[in-house]
Structure 1
Amino acid sequence: MRLPIAFLLAAALGAAADSVTLKDRSVIEGKVLSSTDREVVINTYNSTMKEMTWGVKTFDRGQVVKVEITPPDPLRDYWEKSSVARPDRRDLMAFCAANGLTVEQKEEAAWVLASDPANADARSVLGADADRLLRADPRLSSDLRGRLADYAKLDAAARRGVYEGWKKDLGVSLPPQYFDRVVRSLEQPKGLQEDVKLTYNTRKAGGKYSVWVPEDYDPHRAYPLLVGLHGSVNGLGGVGNGKDFIKHFLVEAPKWGCIVVCPTCEPLPWTGHPDEYTLSFVSEVQLLYNVDMNRVYLIGHSRGGMGTWYFGPAYADRWAAFAPAAGSGSGNAMRAHQTGTGMYIYHSSDDPQVGVGDDRSAALTLQKQKADFIYTEYPNAAHGWPREVVDDTLQFFKRHHQMKKGAKGPEAVRGTRPSFAEPLWPDENLYFPVRPAGGAAADDVATLVSDIEMGGTRAEKAAGKLLEKKDKAAISPLSKLALDPKQPEDTRVQAARALGALKDPGAAGTLVRLLQDKSLKLRRAAADSLATAGDRKEGMAIAGALDALGKEFDKDLKKLDIAPWEDYLAADAACVAAMAALGETRVGAVVSQVAVKKILLAADLPKFSTGYDPEVARKKAALAILAALPAFQDARLKADVQAIRGKFANDAEVGLRASDAEGKMP
């Protein structure tokens, strides 16, 4: 006898488990993979991956009394059907009507009305709200959208006046910050942006991220957001970082129509930073692009899987679902289950880097609790991340929404929740101030220096504008910022680079002082800037800084991690290039002994994280140094060119650069 269909539907939004009842009256739950006249196969951890064997049970048909297949849940089906780049709104409206999804039916009707204001079916669904929406909702009102160009040119006070007029005359109900965010969002790039500097919350956090945004992005539509946390090895080869990790999702994201953000954690692990370090990246994307807060998903591999195991349960109320892959640290899985948050866990049983034990333990716990989860385990994928598992995870995400506390347990949050309609974020107007588009007031020196103080992409843009202005009045406030050790490192680096961009000798004194700073990134920025703002007399100061850099490198060599190794090489190459640019030819000895032999060609490097190739950063520095060596007009440096060539004996690019250098040397 089949279970009553009402029971099955009530259970579907939770674990959505099939069941097999045996003759001994035991009931096995999970995902039925096949049911034939000969046998029944069920995965007790809900996975459909054919490679999985752990937890998969096979029964002779004679042992089985009954097989129950849970019917599809209409709400989850709707979520999946709507998770495409260009959904057919009319079909979705009809689907919702047929399945009693009234909240979603009204939402789809509004979108139908946006393209067809006279559509009778949509008007019937919306009733008296139809004309109001056509007048007051920017999704539907081309008139209101058209007014935003003039709105963008106003300052904050004038915008509030216009907004009050819209409320009175048009019946606009969206909050004023919605329109400010839309105007800001229209200025943001689309497609793939790599290594974007964090702007939001830079007084407490910092770093960079890579982001992908649909090419047809519309700031009046709220999009799903996928947050990816990389590991030491990104699963595609090479060291983990946001720029590489985002490649996992660039095939599926355009089909899904979601926004993807992958921060870079420097240094790993993710839990080695305050929580706001990671969460600030998510907040920034939600402030710059319109995100559906009901469809935010977290995914990570390796150390990123460990980070996902931390941030997923710890902030379960922020995610519709999360998915740790090849990670560990699942002690808080029950908290996520209690909030109803979906979980997709992946591991390989032969993983040599991160043992499978924690994830198996979590899967067993979630299985007993009849949680909403999938656990997929491969027998022979080592520490990789199979493509089909990534795709299956994303498919799982599409059938999940934000959950909330209900009378009988967690229940789905219905409808769309645009991030642009949310209350103001803490300090939002500090990091993203409301300014007239193209206004001259935003380009005065004081404002631009203030923007540099805030750091991030905002600082980069301000530095570019200062370069255009070439105003000496900026030297003093920029010097104060660059020399202030209490300022964030990124702010000081941006100030140093802005000083160099001004190409004024008046900045040289500050830049020379920065060559002695503790920060390797700041020393590199100072050297780069002296190449344009200094003259030959600063060349000897750079030589002294290079000598000091070599002594520090000696002390740190045995304990170097990835980031310091790359920072030392970058600072080394910057010093050599700066001395060459300034025409300082008396420094051949320090270039040879320190820049080339001690740092660039350092042997006995420590063991870095698995999968990291230190020669990639070394090659980048080598190419820069080879390009600079001819400027010293020192025949003795030919031996160093030969040494670099020997280090990269099989690299054609380095070989060509070395030959070019030799041809220009005495």
Structure 2
Amino acid sequence: MRNIIVGTLLMVANLAVASESKPQLLRQDYISTTTELKRQYFVYLPDGYKEGDEKKWPLMLFLHGNGERGNGLSELGHVLKHGPLYEAWIQKRNLPFIIVAPQLPMFDFDKRGIGYIDNRTNDSIPKRLANGTPPRPEHFISKEKMNGVSQADMTNVPPLFPLGWEQVEHDVMTILAGVKSTFNVDQKKVYLTGLSYGGVGTWYLASKYPKEFAAIAPVVGWGHPSLMAPIAKHQLPIWQFAGGRDSAVQLQYFYQGVNELERLGHKIRFTIHADMEHDTWTRVYSGQDLYQWLLTYEKSVLGAS
């Protein structure tokens, strides 16, 4: 559990930026205030990025799902399995963002009999090929019929999933601050997105730091109504995604949060992929619409917290 340490996160001296203009995937060292251990996170630098260049780049902070937890060192590569980092590095798409991707500690989830964690090996980490790209995984298969659902009663539903991104809140925000100060970041174009556990984490960080981001995109992770007031107050642009056949994070739990935002006077964009299972993220991140939508928003640097 979190061991709160006064002061900022110790950033280790691995923040040197290479001067090449080809896409780069860097591993950056830090000491976690949660675990008090050395860990690493990914920083992806897009095609055309150069040290010392006057060009500033949009930044995307990505929070992965439950199955990609790890020790932040030998297991960090699991973060490459899904999301914008998979698209940019493994599928070699030219996404015009600096992408920051930390890894959530295991917190003993590997001792709970969860098949998709227990049965994984580092051989399952996707590899960037010298030539071409690997085939994309098949979509999840569902036997459920497409069907609309009523909203769930959230009265007794906890606002967060167990041992999620809130546990490393200070680590993540200090990593973000370090990247913003070290790399050529457009301070007005800082975005947040995440899938599943990371989608819930996206809502949580947006609620705690609504001035930090120009826009957010939680994917197959619902936002609890108790988190919505700060987001509505700051009119943070949001595009929420859900899967109509999602058996892991069910559609019925998405409605109360977005309806609470509307009650508070904040309109958001909410897309339900009625035909998709929990891996709705594969369609969302493999498309172009989300990235184009994010880039239409800027924040006030003076108002950033």
Which TM bucket (shorter chain)?
A: 0.5 to 0.7
Where does the alignment leave 5 or more consecutive residues of structure 1 unmatched?
Answer: 1-182, 406-412, 418-666
Structure 2 residue corresponding to 1:340, chosen from 235, 239, 258:
235
Query: What one-letter code is carried by the residue in structure 2 that aligns with 1:278?
Result: V
Q: Deviations over 1:155-179 (max 9, x none)?
A: xxxxxxxxxxxxxxxxxxxxxxxxx
Q: Which residue of 1 aligns with 2:65?
A: 231
Does structure 1 residue 321 correspond to structure 2 residue 215?
yes
TM-score with structure 2 length normalisation?
A: 0.61
1:259 aligns with 2:98: yes
In the TM superposition, 1:97-112 aligns within 5 A as none
1:381 aligned partner, one-letter code: M
2:252 equivalent in structure 1: 357
Q: Map residues 134-533 of structure 1 onto 2, 5 A cutoff.
A: 185=17, 191-193=23-25, 195-198=27-30, 206-218=38-50, 219=52, 220-233=54-67, 241-245=78-82, 246-250=85-89, 255-267=94-106, 269-271=163-165, 273-330=167-224, 331-390=226-285, 391-403=288-300
Three-state SS of the structure 2 residue aligned to 1:319 is coil
Q: Which moved more, 1:245-254 or 1:296-305?
A: 245-254
Report the CA distance shift for 1:309/1:240 in structure 2 as closer, same or farther (over 3 A): farther
Counterparts of 2:55 and 2:62, CA distance in 1? 22
Residues 294 and 320 in structure 1, CA contact (< 8 A), matched pair in contact too: yes
- Alpha-carbon separation, structure 2, partners of 1:301 and 1:262: 12
SS of 2:100's partner is strand
Contact 2:57/2:97 (<8 A) preserved: yes
- Aligned with 1:332: secondary structure? helix
Quick one: distance in 1 between partners of 2:211 and 2:260? Answer: 20
Flag the structure with more relative contact order, 1 or 2, with Cα contacts below 8 A and sequence separation at least 6.
Answer: 2
Contact 2:23 2:45 in 1 (8 A): yes
Distance 2:244 2:200 in 1: 17
Aligned sequence identity (%): 20
Determine the C-alpha separation between the residues in 1 that align with 2:201 and 2:278. 16
SS in 1 for 2:254: helix
Find the aligned partners of 1:205 and 1:335 in 2 and give their Cα distance.
32
Q: Quick one: distance in 2 between partners of 1:205 and 1:283?
A: 20
After superposition, the C-alpha distances for 1:493-545 in whole angstroms (9 at most, x for unaligned) are: xxxxxxxxxxxxxxxxxxxxxxxxxxxxxxxxxxxxxxxxxxxxxxxxxxxxx
Deviations 1:398-432 (A, max 9, x none): 11111589xxxxxxx7xxx9xxxxxxxxxxxxxxx
| Corresponding residue SS for 2:280 | coil
* C-alpha contact (below 8 Å) 1:198/1:284 kept by paired residues: no
* 1:232–1:303 Cα contact (<8 Å) kept: yes
* Amino acid aligned to 2:57: Y
Quick one: distance in 2 between partners of 1:323 and 1:337? Answer: 15
CA distance in 2, matches of 1:372, 1:252: 34
Distance 1:311 1:205 in 2: 23
> CA-atom RMSD, angstroms?
3.6
> CA distance change for structure 1 residues 205 and 229 in 2, over 3 Å: closer, same or farther?
farther
Residues in 2 aligned to 1:290 and 1:304: alpha-carbon distance in whole angstroms: 25
Q: Give the distance between the partners of 2:301 and 2:201, measured in 1 at CA.
A: 23
Letter in 1 for 2:45: V
Secondary structure of 2:278 counterpart: coil
Question: What amino acid maps onto 2:290 in structure 1?
Answer: T
- Going from structure 1 to structure 2, the CA distance change for 1:318 and 1:241 (only over 3 Å counts) comes to farther
Q: Which structure has greater helix proportion?
A: 1
Whichever of the two has the greater Rg, that structure is: 1
Structure 2 spans left out of the alignment, 5+ residues = 1-14, 69-75, 108-162
